[in-house]
C-alpha cells in the first residue's frame, strides 16, 4: 500500500474506530469505561497492532491509528454520546442491618434555561428497584436542547427501603459495647466467690435480648425519625426484624449554571441513594461520571440531601445505658465484695 494511502486510511480510521467503540460502549455499558478497563483496552489494541505489523505486514501508521482510535473512544463518547442518568445503591450499614431492596420513584428532571423556561430533560420513569451491591439502574438519557442552563430540579415521589435487622447480631453488638465498658472494672485477682456473682456472658446477652426486643419497635424508633421518613410496615420473624421505611424527600433546586451549545455530549450522572447506618434514607448524592483520566468534577454539583438541621438522625437503635443498669449494679457489687474479701484476707 502506498504511503500516502496508508496515511489517509489511518487518519480516517482514528475517528471512525473511536466513534464505533464509543457507540457500543454506551449501548452495552451505559457509561464510560473505568480507568482500568481503558488501560486493558489500550493494551489489547497495542498487542493487536504489533501482531498486524509483524505477521500481516500492516503499515505501522494504520496499526498506530487503531491504538489511538481505541484510546480516544471514551472522549468521543463524551463529545457525541448522550448524558445517561443512573441510580446507585447505598450503603455503609450497621453490621446487624441489611437492605435487600430499595424502590425509588423520581419525578421529572427539569432544567431551567437562561430565559427562565423549564424544560423536562428526563421524564419520570416510574418505580425503579435497586438491589444493593448488585445493580445500577439506568433511568434513561437526557434530552437537553442546545442552550444555556442556570438550575435543575427533580422531585422524589417516594423511596421505599426494605430493612432487615439480625437480632442476634444486634445483641452481639450491644454486648461488645457493654463488655468493653464492664470488663476493665473487674480486677484480675478478684476472689472466686465474688467472681461467681458477676453475670456470665450468656446471662448478659439474655438481658440484652430482652431490652433489644423492647427498643427495636415502631413505638421506640418512630420518635427518632425525621418527619419525611415513615415506618410503612414492621414484622418480627425468627430472630429478624423486617421493616419497610418510606420517605418523600423534598430535594432542593440545584443552582448549576452550564452552557450546552450543541445539544449532545457531556458527562453521565449517577444519583447515589444515601442511607445511614441503620438504613434510613437521608437523600440523594449526585456523582459525575467522566471519561478515564478526566478530572473529577462531582464537587461542582451540590449535594441534594435536604438540610436536616437539628434533626437527630439515629445511627443505632438507641438502646439506652439505663437498659442494662442492673448488670452494672451486679458487676459493681461483685467487685466491691471482692475487694472487701481481699482486704479481709490481708488483715488476717
Q: Is the C-alpha dihedral spanning 302, 307, 308, 310 positive or negative?
A: positive
24-60: pLDDT as tens digits: 988 887 788 888 999 999 999 999 999 988 888 888 8
Statement to judge: residues 157 and 172 lie in one domain = no
Helix (H) or strand (E) holding 206: helix 201-215
Q: Checking phi first, is residue 318 left (phi over 0); if not, alpha (psi -120 to 50) or beta? A: left
**Residues 281 and 332 both lie in one domain:** no
Same domain, 240 and 285: yes
Give the confidence band of 306 by pLDDT, cuts at 50, 70, 90. Answer: low
Tell me whether residue 306 is in a domain.
no
pLDDT digits (tens, 9 = 90+) for 140-168: 888 889 899 988 888 888 889 999 999 88
**pLDDT (average), residues 258-274:** 83
Question: What pLDDT is stored for residue 310 in this prediction?
Answer: 46
| Residue 59 sits in the same domain as residue 208 | no
The total of structural domains in the chain comes to 3
Asked if the structure places residue 40 within a domain, the reply is: yes
- CA gyration radius for the chain? 30
What confidence score (pLDDT) does residue 110 get?
Answer: 92
Residue whose C-alpha cell is 451549545: 261
Strand 281-289 to 268-275 pairing: antiparallel
pLDDT tens figures, 66-120: 999 999 999 998 888 877 777 776 567 889 999 999 998 988 989 999 999 999 9
pLDDT at 302: 62
Given a contact cutoff of 8 angstroms between Cβ atoms, the answer to whether 76 and 32 are in contact is: no
**Of 34, 255, 257, the residue nearest 153 (C-alpha):** 255
Whether residue 160 sits in one domain with residue 174: no
**Residue 143 shares a structural domain with residue 215:** no
Q: Is the pLDDT of residue 303 over 70?
A: no
Q: Which residues are bridge partners to 166 per DSSP?
A: 240
> Nearest 10 degrees: CA dihedral of 286, 287, 289, 292?
170
Residue 308 has pLDDT above 70, yes or no: no
pTM, two decimals, is 0.71
Residues 214 and 266 in one domain: no
Residues in the chain, total: 348
The candidate with the shortest Cα–Cα distance to 18, out of 42, 36, 49, is 42
Amino acid at each position: 500500500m502506498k504511503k500516502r494511502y496508508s496515511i489517509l486510511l489511518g487518519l480516517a480510521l482514528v475517528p471512525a474506530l473511536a466513534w464505533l467503540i464509543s457507540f457500543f460502549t454506551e449501548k452495552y455499558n451505559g457509561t464510560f469505561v473505568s480507568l482500568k478497563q481503558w488501560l486493558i483496552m489500550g493494551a489489547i489494541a497495542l498487542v493487536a497492532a504489533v501482531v498486524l505489523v509483524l505477521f500481516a505486514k500492516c503499515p505501522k501508521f494504520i496499526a498506530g491509528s487503531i491504538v489511538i482510535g481505541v484510546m480516544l473512544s471514551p472522549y468521543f463518547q463524551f463529545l457525541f454520546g448522550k448524558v445517561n442518568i443512573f441510580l446507585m445503591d447505598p450503603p455503609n450499614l450497621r453490621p446487624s442491618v441489611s437492605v435487600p431492596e430499595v424502590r425509588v420513584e423520581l419525578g421529572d428532571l427539569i432544567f431551567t434555561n437562561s430565559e427562565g423556561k423549564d424544560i423536562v430533560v428526563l421524564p419520570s420513569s416510574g418505580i425503579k428497584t435497586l438491589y444493593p451491591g448488585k445493580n445500577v439502574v439506568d433511568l434513561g438519557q437526557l434530552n437537553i436542547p442546545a442552550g444555556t442552563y442556570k438550575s435543575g430540579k427533580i422531585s422524589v415521589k417516594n423511596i421505599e427501603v426494605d430493612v432487615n435487622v439480625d437480632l442476634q447480631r444486634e445483641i452481639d453488638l450491644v454486648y461488645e459495647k457493654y463488655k468493653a465498658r464492664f470488663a476493665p472494672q473487674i480486677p484480675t485477682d478478684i476472689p472466686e466467690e465474688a467472681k461467681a456473682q458477676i453475670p456470665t456472658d450468656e446471662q448478659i446477652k439474655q438481658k440484652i435480648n430482652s431490652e433489644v426486643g423492647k427498643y427495636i419497635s415502631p413505638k421506640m424508633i418512630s420518635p427518632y425519625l425525621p418527619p419525611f421518613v415513615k415506618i410503612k410496615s414492621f414484622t418480627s420473624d425468627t430472630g429478624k426484624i423486617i421493616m419497610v421505611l418510606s420517605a418523600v424527600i423534598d430535594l432542593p433546586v440545584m443552582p448549576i449554571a452550564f452552557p450546552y451549545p450543541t445539544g449532545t455530549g457531556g458527562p453521565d450522572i449517577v444519583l447515589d441513594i444515601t442511607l445511614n447506618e441503620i438504613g434510613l434514607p437521608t437523600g440523594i448524592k449526585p456523582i459525575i461520571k467522566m471519561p478515564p483520566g478526566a478530572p473529577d468534577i462531582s464537587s461542582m454539583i451540590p449535594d441534594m440531601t435536604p438540610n436536616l438541621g437539628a434533626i437527630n438522625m439515629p445511627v443505632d437503635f438507641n438502646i439506652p445505658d439505663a437498659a442494662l443498669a442492673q448488670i452494672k449494679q451486679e458487676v459493681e457489687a461483685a467487685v466491691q465484695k471482692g475487694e472487701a474479701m481481699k482486704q479481709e484476707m490481708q488483715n488476717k
